[in-house]
Amino acid sequence: MRLLVSGGGTGGHIYPALALIERLKQVEPDTEVLYVGTTRGLENKIVPDAGIKLETMHMQGFKRSLSLENFKTVYLFLRSVHHAKKIIRDFKPDVVLGTGGYVSGAVLYAAAKQHIPTVIHEQNSVVGVTNKFLSRYVDQIAIAFEAARNQFPEEKVTMTGNPRAQQVASQTASTFSWEEYGLEDDVPTLMVFGGSQGAPKINTTVVDAIPEFNKRPYQVIFATGQKRYDNVKKQLQGVKIGKNVKVVPYIKDMPAKMPKVAALVSRAGATTIAEVTALGVPTILIPSPYVTANHQVKNAQSLVRKNAAVMITEDKLDSRSLLLQADKIMENKDLRAKMAGASRKIGHPQAADELIAVLHKAINEH
């Protein structure tokens, strides 16, 4: 298969694409892939590091208020469509996949106009502006949350889940030991992680809760985010940190460590949810309020409704609410087991294979 993939800006658009590509090359070794992204997005580092050829285009998003910048956005979009048509003619893909971000709008629109089979993958429960626009032009639509189904033309939609889930679920058992962090392997571990950049409100809340965490029969590993680590260390001056609490800037290769986590505190991004449901990790979700259409709340609700997670909205988050939920889960092994089972039922351990099937459907039915 000759696959052209477009998606950019954030890891949430890139990592599902990379997971899909990895699996596709396993089952169809002669696959050739070209990735089209933006000039400034994370894909500029992540995609070449994965050994995938990358082409870039200059794009920007629409301002939600009336702005002269929107005229520039329209101009850049039209120019990018022209550029995308040339890329498509040169690469000659069998199918084009869009995983979100403004760049995928131009690429998928160009592909549809050139009568190339097209598929979009929507990772979130609330459909993004680009994918809503593309839904009328593409051949097939894959979704990761049932809540997204009624936001698209029904006849085009297939539930596949997020390919990242299959990538995580297929990892072999890790030989990792918590002793690397000065913790113990036979004590239940709560991991707190606000994203690679860290989340200020989560960080402040955990700092406030540490004197109480010191007293708990479980242990806590708290990742502050690389750029917020120094600030958290300043906040912790004069605060005693118990042997059962570790504060680190970042946790490398989290999916390899999550099978040894009793529960997780995290944001409710699509990639995180794909990972925790693939592994069956009980989770306290704290949705980011700084995302389009509050979609992380809706992502979280899909787990809360199935008793796989609990949610604390950021406006209700403080040390008391966090400790209440952490104690409830960490001090009840039976509850953790029930939440883990409910979480695994939501997961899509064959998500990449299901999305590959949608790509072939688009090719065969085009």
What lies within 8 Å, CB to CB, of 81 at 6+ separation is: 106, 109, 110, 113
Dihedral (CA of 166, 116, 92, 4) sign? negative
Beta bridge partners of 311: 285
Annotated binding-site residue numbers = 10-12, 124, 196, 251, 296
Write the single-letter amino acid at 78: L
What phi and psi, each to the nearest 5 degrees, are found at residue 30? -85, 10
Largest CA distance in the chain: 66
The closest alpha carbon to 363, from 14, 31, 15, belongs to 31
Cβ contact 97:120 at 8 Å: yes
Closest Cα to residue 281, out of 332, 327, 339?
A: 339
Residue set of the binding site for UDP-N-acetyl-alpha-D-glucosamine:
10-12, 124, 196, 251, 296
| Backbone Cα Rg of the chain | 21
d(CA 189, CA 244): 9
